[in-house]
Amino acid sequence: MKILLNLCLYTLLISLSACQTFPSYFTKNDHSKKPVNSIPATPNDAAIKLNGETKLDDVLPKQEKRVALIVGNANYTFAPLNNPINDAEDLSNALNILGFKVIKLHDASWEEMDNGLEQFKQELGPNTVGLFFFSGHGVQFDGNNYLLPTDLKELSARYVKHRSLTASYVLTAMESAHNTMNIIVLDACRDNPFKGGTRGLTKGLSRLQHVPNGTLIAYATSPGDVAADGRGRNSPYTKNILKFIHEPGLPIELMFKKVRNSVLTETSGEQTPWESSSIRDNFFFAGENKTRTSKEPVPTKLKAEIERLKEENKRLMNLAQLAVQRVDTLKGQLATAQKKSSKTTSAASDKKVFRNDLKSGSVGPEMVWIPAGKFKMGDIQNNGGSDELPVHIVSITKFAMGRYEVTFEEYDYFVKATGRSKPSDNDWGRGNQPVINVSWEDSMAYVKWLSAETGKQYRLPTEAEWEYSARAGTSSEYWWSDTWATKSNCNREFNRTTPVDSFEPNPFGLFDILGNVYEWIADPWHKNYKDAPSKGQNWTGNSEQRLLRGGAWSSSAAYCRVANRNKFVATEKGMSVGFRVALSQ
């Protein structure tokens, strides 16, 4: 044990002197990554004291950036609230005093909340503490927590799922920035009557199952319960946050414990705030109390760092185990392929799968012929949003679709040939991983180059072609059934992209047509299917936003439905966005 401790201490001292601090859901900036709790390098002339008198400031960053997104929604048509605007205003003022850069939204629509989150994400990054606060109505449905905008027309699952901000999406956006710490505070279970009923929704919030390292999530009340709106200027929960947030030397977890006890007293035990935390280091809203005489001995800090290194080692061991499993899977696939290679029924021999040669001597993406046919396009099950209606019949002529999403290997070849900039892979690997961080304009440049290289007219698929190919002759929510199953990389089950051949293909032979990455579509965005073309052609329009289909690794299962539609500005890029190509007969 003594030998192990000495080895860990030696490793720690090396890491402190050698590691570097790098500069800082969709994000359009390429961020270099570092471990969440890594310690920046000390200056060359600095010495780490091991005499028990070392201050925490000797090894931790001198300053941290603090950014907050504060949302207060009160003016709901179905159930107005009294004080979320005051909650947002007062907490914003408090956080300004405590050194936070505050983005504040009052009575925000769904689009304003979405835009505010995008602005918030751009401010986040390494050595940053991010705080998200929401005061207003929140409901749960199918295990997801929905934070309601004030322009919600109807309190039903149909509208809430597609016109609200999910708490898990906020968490994903913050986690992807690799902040030092993430704080989410939800005063979002207000006990006001929902006029007309909730139509399948449940008041109160459910516990977020995924709490990444360095994150604290604070709830105004217990899972499934509702919180008091309060008769004063603020809700009981926010009132008590404001009461304790300025107290010097009060660690964040102890602060929320004081808030909980105070709310319990004020509500006579009716409301019990609670937290879910994975933070490792102390955080003080008002700063550490410098008048304290006790000093943290170095061994305590070293012990914490040793524990962090153990966790990192555990993570690497898990990755190694996954790699071994992956090798075994590939061996099995190779054996199967060798057996099939002698049969005339293989994909290559019957010419269902093909690749066109490039002038430069390489080959283009693997393509699959999609047969002609008719299908019902849109929200057949009536579980989506108004943008998926009306359901209409579309005829599709035979065409070819990329068997896989375009990979980094294929896109990097294009980059080398044209001198364009390489997109970031978020340290997830290139090669057989789907290309990410590419805009609609980037994808159009790729298909134009591919057409010139092959002499064939490659393009992005139209929206109708994409949905027809994704359904592959089915009429269910997903191509396999109406029930979600782990047949694609969605629902944050892997927390990153996976190689494009990791899951089974759909009946048309297309891999990852749902999940892994959103796929750019040729058509511009239209708010619904009124007057949509019936022959599967590109639906022209003037919108600057382009369609995304298929959902992604970071999406909830509802967003990976075949009928689900999304949009993004053509010039924007994201770590959940890629594309696949199409080719006319």
Q: Burial level of 25, CB count in 10 A (0-12/13-18/19+)?
A: buried
Q: Considering Cα of 50, then 55, then 57, then 60, what sign does the dihedral take? A: positive
Token pair, residue 510, equals 């297309």
Q: In what order do the strands lie in the sheet with 165-166?
A: 165-166, 144-147, 138-141, 202-203
Q: What is the dihedral of CA 288, 292, 298, 303, to 10 degrees?
A: -60
Asked whether the beta carbons of 515 and 555 are under 8 A apart, the reply is yes
Report CA-CA distances (Å) from 147 to 72, 86, 162, 185, 292.
11, 18, 11, 12, 41
367 C-beta neighbours (distance < 10 Å), count: 23
Return the pLDDT at 76: 86
Closest CA to 87 of 228, 260, 206, 252: 228
Return the pLDDT at 24: 32
- DSSP structure class, residue 251: B
3-state DSSP assignment of residue 547: strand
Listed in sequence order, the DSSP H helices in 285-426 are: 298-340, 408-418
Report CA-CA distances (Å) from 284 to 166, 255, 289.
28, 9, 9
Partner residues linked to 274 by β-bridges: 219
Parallel, antiparallel, or unpaired for β 399-402 and 582-584? antiparallel
Q: Which residues of the chain register pLDDT less than 70?
A: 1-63, 189-204, 206-210, 223-231, 289-305, 311-312, 314-326, 328-329, 331-333, 335-351
Return the pLDDT at 45: 32
Residue ranges per domain, the chain? 9-298, 345-584
376 C-beta neighbours (distance < 10 Å), count: 14
Report CA-CA distances (Å) from 361 to 297, 358, 417.
64, 5, 12
Q: How many CA atoms lie within 13 A of 284 on its CB side?
A: 11
Class for the domain spanning 9-298: alpha beta
3-state helix, strand, coil in the chain (%, to 5): 30, 15, 55
Report the predicted TM-score, pTM, of the whole model to 2 decimal places: 0.48
Return the pLDDT at 124: 94
Report CA-CA distances (Å) from 61 to 57, 125, 180, 215, 392.
7, 14, 11, 18, 58
Q: In what order do the strands lie in the sheet with 582-584?
A: 353-354, 367-370, 399-402, 582-584, 458-459
Partner residues linked to 569 by β-bridges: 545
The CATH code belonging to domain 345-584 is 3.90.1580.10
Residues with Cβ within 8 Å of 4's Cβ and at least 6 positions away in sequence, in order, are: none
Q: Burial level of 343, CB count in 10 A (0-12/13-18/19+)?
A: exposed
Q: What is the dihedral of CA 241, 246, 249, 251, to 10 degrees?
A: 20
Parallel, antiparallel, or unpaired for β 181-187 and 128-135? parallel
Q: Burial level of 561, CB count in 10 A (0-12/13-18/19+)?
A: buried
Q: Burial level of 92, CB count in 10 A (0-12/13-18/19+)?
A: buried
Asked whether the beta carbons of 434 and 403 are under 8 A apart, the reply is no
Closest CA to 211 of 161, 137, 279, 283: 279
Q: Which residue has the tokens 């879910």?
A: 276
